[in-house]
């Protein structure tokens, strides 16, 4: 049962995990084919998803992934289609109020990147409110408060998942932010601190009372990190705790079948997808196709993925010039290239490129070599996505 025991102590946390994420199962071991899939029964839907007055393009949202859900990636995923809302990586509210250069870059957007949310974290209500007001001036559509980050540096300072340990302070903080701005505020949190303290239903209900427009819920506790499984009953308890606001279910959605199960078993109004979007940026479009027609086209092929990767590089280059763009791009390219199932050696070579000429040469070799199984137009096998764990500085 999902109780609401609070007033607990928040223990320290470290763990390491490797989660196996996948290209949608239905594309595994199938011959090259562009045939639409009809293997997942449609779920009856309620109204379109709205955050307050803000109507979202679909009920499938890109979950923030620090270091990955940068503007170039958001633009690319949106070009494919189906994304209801995309959010920045978590942004430090204090750094935002002091207009730190790197932080201001994190909240940059583009006409392709709408509607657009910035996720902020912090533990000081006034600083969070000031940051929210600055974001309104910058034209952000909606703001998400991070209440789920498990990393010690953040949770230990009373922000992120640490907010679950301070009921009064958290309710005050969220209310202060809601009252400071007129755009919708959402909160993204976990089920609770640990299995004995499943406080998400309590918080969601309280947040609705102070005017929060939506709650996204990662169906794990802070103690779980990224281990174990996502609890669909846990998410359902949050859906049942609120009266009107939409609840967004999150965690381990890798394909249309996973999404259908989440929608059916939790009654959530929308879904946010993180890691699977790195393995399969087509997933949002597939979900919208499935919702509208009951069938959906396969994810991108080797050639399409290569095109996408180059488009993302171009977005980075436009902003930073080739030298900086190449260095920044290598991390993201790693995932594209993993998804394209190329030889490990070629992936390794790409990580060493530091000039445009070297990059072009590496891409030419990848293009010529193709995927390991030689299939440029169909099946792509599993991709392993290592998840950060414990105190990771990048978070």
Ligand X SMILES: Cc1cc2nc3c(=O)[nH]c(=O)nc-3n(C[C@H](O)[C@H](O)[C@H](O)COP(=O)(O)O)c2cc1C
Residues labelled catalytic? 149
Told to check if 253 binds ligand X by CB under 6 A, we report yes
Looking at 119, 123, 224, 255, which residue binds ligand X (CB under 6 A)? 119
Told to check if 388 binds ligand X by CB under 6 A, we report yes
Instruction: Specify the stretch interacting with ligand X by CB under 6 A; choose among 206-214, 247-255, 322-330, 357-365.
Output: 247-255
Residue with Cβ nearer ligand X (277 or 306): 277
Q: How far is the CB of 117 from ligand X (least distance, A)?
A: 11
CA distance 380 to 395: 29
Told to check if 63 binds ligand X by CB under 6 A, we report yes
Q: How far is the CB of 61 from ligand X (least distance, A)?
A: 10
Question: CB of 351 within 8 A of CB of 345?
Answer: no
Told to check if 252 binds ligand X by CB under 6 A, we report yes
CA distance 86 to 119: 10
Q: How far is the CB of 365 from ligand X (least distance, A)?
A: 28
CB atoms within 10 A of CB 192: 28
Looking at 24, 71, 89, 245, which residue binds ligand X (CB under 6 A)? 89
CA distance 309 to 85: 21
- Residue 209 main-chain phi, psi, to 5 deg: -65, -30
Q: Which residues contact 154 (CB under 8 A, 6 or more apart)?
A: 90, 121, 146, 160, 161, 162, 395
CA distance 229 to 226: 8
In the bound state, the residue with its beta carbon closest to ligand X is: 274
Residue with Cβ nearer ligand X (252 or 291): 252
CA distance 251 to 265: 14
Q: How far is the CB of 12 from ligand X (least distance, A)?
A: 19
Residue with Cβ nearer ligand X (188 or 341): 188
Told to check if 127 binds ligand X by CB under 6 A, we report no
Residue with Cβ nearer ligand X (188 or 236): 188
Told to check if 286 binds ligand X by CB under 6 A, we report no
Nearest to 56 by CA among 79, 80, 87: 87
Residue 230 tokens, joined: 């996502």
To which residue do tokens 């000429």 refer? 357
Residue with Cβ nearer ligand X (175 or 255): 255
Residue 282 tokens, joined: 């087509």
Looking at 118, 163, 239, 276, which residue binds ligand X (CB under 6 A)? 276
Residue with Cβ nearer ligand X (143 or 273): 273
Q: What is the DSSP string of 213-275?
A: -EEEEESS-TTTTT-S---HHHHHHHHHH-SSS-EEEES---SHHHHHHHHHHH--SEEEE-H
Instruction: Specify the stretch interacting with ligand X by CB under 6 A; choose among 58-66, 123-131, 204-212, 235-243.
Output: 58-66
Question: CB of 117 within 8 A of CB of 128?
Answer: no
Looking at 58, 109, 146, 170, which residue binds ligand X (CB under 6 A)? 146
Looking at 65, 71, 86, 245, which residue binds ligand X (CB under 6 A)? 65
Residue with Cβ nearer ligand X (155 or 366): 155
| Total residues at interface with ligand X (CB under 6 A) | 22
Q: How far is the CB of 20 from ligand X (least distance, A)?
A: 11
Q: How far is the CB of 296 from ligand X (least distance, A)?
A: 18
Nearest to 387 by CA among 63, 34, 44, 51: 63
Largest CA distance in the chain: 60
CA distance 333 to 351: 8
Told to check if 178 binds ligand X by CB under 6 A, we report no
Q: How far is the CB of 52 from ligand X (least distance, A)?
A: 20
User: Residue 212 carries which DSSP code?
Assistant: -
CA distance 58 to 269: 10
Told to check if 23 binds ligand X by CB under 6 A, we report no
CA distance 294 to 235: 25
Q: Which residues bind ligand X (CB under 6 A)?
A: 63-66, 89-90, 119, 146, 148-149, 188, 218, 250-253, 273-276, 387-388
């Amino acid at each position: 049962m999902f109780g609401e025991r609070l007033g607990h102590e928040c223990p320290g946390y470290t763990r390491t995990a490797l989660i196996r994420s996948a290209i949608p199962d239905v594309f595994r071991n199938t011959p090259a084919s562009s045939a639409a899939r009809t293997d997942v029964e449609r779920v009856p839907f309620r109204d379109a998803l709205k955050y307050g007055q803000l109507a979202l393009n679909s009920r499938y949202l890109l979950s923030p992934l620090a270091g990955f859900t940068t503007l170039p990636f958001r633009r690319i995923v949106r070009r494919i289609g189906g994304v209801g809302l995309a959010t920045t990586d978590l942004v430090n509210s204090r750094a935002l109020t002091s207009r730190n250069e790197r932080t201001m870059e994190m909240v940059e957007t583009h006409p392709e990147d709408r509607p657009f949310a910035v996720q902020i974290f912090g533990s000081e209500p006034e600083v969070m409110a000031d940051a929210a007001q600055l974001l309104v001036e910058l034209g952000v559509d909606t703001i998400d408060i991070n209440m789920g980050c498990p990393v010690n540096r953040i949770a230990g300072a009373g922000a992120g998942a640490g907010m679950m340990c301070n009921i009064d302070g958290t309710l005050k903080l969220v209310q202060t932010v809601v009252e400071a701005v007129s755009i919708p505020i959402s909160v993204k949190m976990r089920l609770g601190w640990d299995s004995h303290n499943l406080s998400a239903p309590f918080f969601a209900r309280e947040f609705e009372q102070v005017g929060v427009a939506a709650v996204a819920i990662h169906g794990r506790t802070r103690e779980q990190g990224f281990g174990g499984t996502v609890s669909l009953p846990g998410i359902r308890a949050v859906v049942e705790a609120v009266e009107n606001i939409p609840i967004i279910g999150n965690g381990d959605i890798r394909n249309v079948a996973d999404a259908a199960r989440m929608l059916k078993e939790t009654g959530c109004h929308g879904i946010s997808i993180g890691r699977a979007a790195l393995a399969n940026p087509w997933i949002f479009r597939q979900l919208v196709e499935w919702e509208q027609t009951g069938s959906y086209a396969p994810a991108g092929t080797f050639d399409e993925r290569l095109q996408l990767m180059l488009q993302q590089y171009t977005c980075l280059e436009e902003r930073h010039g080739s030298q900086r763009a190449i260095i920044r791009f290598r991390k993201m390219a790693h995932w594209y290239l993993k998804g394209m199932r190329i030889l490990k050696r070629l992936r390794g070579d790409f990580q060493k490129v530091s000039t445009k000429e070297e990059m072009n040469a590496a891409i030419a070799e990848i293009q010529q070599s193709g995927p390991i199984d030689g299939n440029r137009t169909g099946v792509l096998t599993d991709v392993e996505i290592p998840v950060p764990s414990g105190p990771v500085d990048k978070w």
